Amino acid sequence: MRFVPLAAAGLLALSLTACTAGKEAPPPLGAQPGPTANGTGPAADALPPATLELWHGFSTDVETKAFEEAVAGFTKKFPQIKVTMKKGVQDDRITQAIRGGKAPDVAASFTTDNVAQWCKSGAFQNLTPVIEQDGIDLGVLPAASRAYTEFEGKRCMMPLLADAYGLYYNKALMKGAQPPKTLSELTELTKKLTVRDADGNIEVAGFIPSFQYYENSPSHLGPMVGAKWYNDDGTSAIGSDPAWKQLLRWQKELVDWYGYDKLEKFRKGLGDEWGAEHPFFEGKVAMILDGEWRNAMIANDPDAKDMDYGTAPLPVADDKPDLYGSGFTAGTVIGVPRGAAHPQHAWELVKHLTTDTGSLVTLSNALRNVPTTRAAMEHPDLARDDDFATFLGIFTHPKTSTLPANVNSVFNQDAFSTFLTQWEKGAVKDLDAGLAGVDKRIDDKLKLSGG
């Protein structure tokens, strides 16, 4: 086979396709002086007409409508700009589109998992130049929200509403008990509230300890014991931080009390997390860990809205009572991808959505998410019923933490979760060795990604 000429042709083609996929992008943000001095007033007319493409993750009708209204507030301010929206877009799709050269003008994500990777690779444009140009004081953002929107000094995202995680409890199923404050209280209460049938099958669970259950990810549960993900150099701290072992041992004991098989069978018969048959709505579980947005979902569900429920911070490790009141927080992030057709317009939209107090308050009230600027949080129009105030409290608690940014965040969480599935099943004989294996996977991957 004489492939030499073909090989030559191949290498030629290769030199053409390597480096960057996609077409030439317009100048990045900050390369030219900003057309607006402060984003409002007559200077807004300085931007030429354009149509922006905005991708976001909201998918239910209520959420989509609320978000569209927030964007309408922007187009009212900039009548020459039109915004077309795509809903329910996942991070995978956003990354693929940007890397494939098909980026929208603005993209929002529900998770902070990819922020490090996006900032580091330049998939999203650095916003610092325009933030400085427009004289925005980032001090208006809470520290946690500032932290999860930047990586290694590159700010490529802005926070757009935040999520805080706490405990929801069904008052009818609690039989008068108060929400637990420590892990041992949670265990005790779970045992008391769980109902089984004659065959030992679970009918109502007090609390589902499985790491595979909806929001029970290690990132959400870790703050209950103050567990640490990374060392300062970005290597994994999972194996070396005793807090994880404390959490895992507590969790395994509860799983074993249910019986792993019984618990799995129960878990697999539950309705969808985002559907009307959610087990909490159906009264199949007394206590759940969930985000503040569950309040809105309960209120919007025709059957669940009359449920008598309460919210509280998550219970914490018995030996760390000072953690009580804190929890996990993360949030929706929004930015301007590399390759955006109208980066300057896009920035105006991002700026409006993330810093305009009126817009944030309206959106927060509609979605029941935590607003991300101090002004919006203190605004009198912000609805503050008790169940929601719990989450405002968690969000502002000094011990509240987020998952530290890491370029392999998704991979690392998956590596840990994979191990946890083995663990709760009882397939792990040596916990230390198992966690060391997780550390190794994370560290090897870190090395491969270049640091």
Partner 1 sequence: MMASTRTAPPRRRRGGAPSPAAPSPHRRRGEGARALLWLSPWIIGVAVFFVYPLLSTVYFSFHRYDLFTLEFVGLDNYRYAFSDARVLQSALNTLWLVVFMVPAQVLFALGVAQLLAKLKRGGGILRTIFYLPSLVPVVAGTVAFVYLLNPATGPVNQVLAWFGITGPDWFGSAAWAKPSLTLLALWGAGNTIMIFLAALLDVPRHLYEAAAIDGAGAWRQFRSITLPMISPVLMFSAVTGVIYAVQYFTQAMIASRVASGATDSAGSTFTPGYPDGSLLTLPQHLFHTGFRDWSMGLACVHALLLFAVAMLFTLILLRRFGKAEVAS
Partner 2 sequence: MRLRRRLMWIARHALAIALALMFLGPIVLVALTALMTDEQALTSTLWPERWNWSNFADVFTHSELLTWTVNTFVYASLATLFMLVSSIPAAYALARFRFRGRKTAFLVVISTMMLPPQVVAVPIYLVWARLDLTDSLWPLILPMLFGDAFSIFLLRQFLITIPREYTEAATVDGCSDVQILFRVILPMARPAVAAVALFSFFYCWNDYYGPLLYAGVDQEGWTLSLGLATFKAFHSVQWNLTMAATLLVTAPVIIVFLFAQRVFIEGVTLTGVKG
* Chain positions contacting partner 2, by CB under 8 A: 1, 13-14, 16-18, 21-23, 55, 59-60, 86, 88-89, 93-94, 97, 99-102, 269-272, 274-277
Place of tokens 């600027």: 373
Question: In this chain, which of 68, 188, 264, 443 binds partner 1, going by CB under 8 A?
Answer: 264
Phi-psi region of 245 (alpha: psi -120 to 50; beta: other; left: phi over 0): alpha
Give 176 or 451: the residue with its C-beta nearer to partner 1. Answer: 451
Cβ atoms of 151 and 288 within 8 Å: the answer is no
Any idea what the Cα angle at residue 75 is, between residues 74 and 77, rounded to 5°? 65
Give 59 or 84: the residue with its C-beta nearer to partner 1. Answer: 59
Task: Please report, in angstroms and rounded to a whole number, the separation of the first and last CA atoms in the chain.
Answer: 42
Which of partner 2, partner 1, none does 61 bind, CB closer than 5 to 8 A by kind?
A: none
Q: Does 13 bind partner 1 (CB under 8 A)?
A: yes
Structure tokens at 12: 């030629």
Any idea what the Cα angle at residue 377 is, between residues 129 and 41, rounded to 5°? 50
Backbone φ and ψ for 158, nearest 5 degrees, come out as -125, 145
Window 62-101: residues binding partner 1 (CB under 8 A): 88-92, 95-96, 99-100
Q: Does 61 bind partner 1 (CB under 8 A)?
A: no
Interhelix angle 431-448/242-258, rounded to 10 degrees, is 120
3-state secondary structure of 266: helix
Cβ atoms of 29 and 130 within 8 Å: the answer is yes
Place of tokens 């480096």: 19
Beta carbons within 8 Å of 96's beta carbon, 6+ residues apart: none
Which of partner 2, partner 1, none does 277 bind, CB closer than 5 to 8 A by kind?
A: partner 2
Give 93 or 245: the residue with its C-beta nearer to partner 2. Answer: 93
Picking from 275, 270, 273, 280, the residue whose alpha carbon sits closest to that of residue 170 is 280
Which of partner 2, partner 1, none does 266 bind, CB closer than 5 to 8 A by kind?
A: partner 1
Q: Does 4 bind partner 1 (CB under 8 A)?
A: no
Which of partner 1, partner 2, none does 91 bind, CB closer than 5 to 8 A by kind?
A: partner 1
Give 67 or 230: the residue with its C-beta nearer to partner 1. Answer: 67
Closest separation in Å from C-beta 6 to partner 2:
12
Q: Does 123 bind partner 1 (CB under 8 A)?
A: yes
Question: In this chain, which of 68, 134, 273, 301 binds partner 1, going by CB under 8 A?
Answer: 273
In a 13 Å sphere around the CA of 306, the CA atoms on its Cβ side amount to 2
Q: Where on the chain is the footprint of partner 1 (CB under 8 A)?
A: 3, 6-7, 9-11, 13-14, 17-21, 56-59, 88-92, 95-96, 99-100, 109-111, 113, 117, 121-123, 212, 264-269, 272-274, 410-411, 413-414, 418, 421-422, 441, 444-445, 447-450
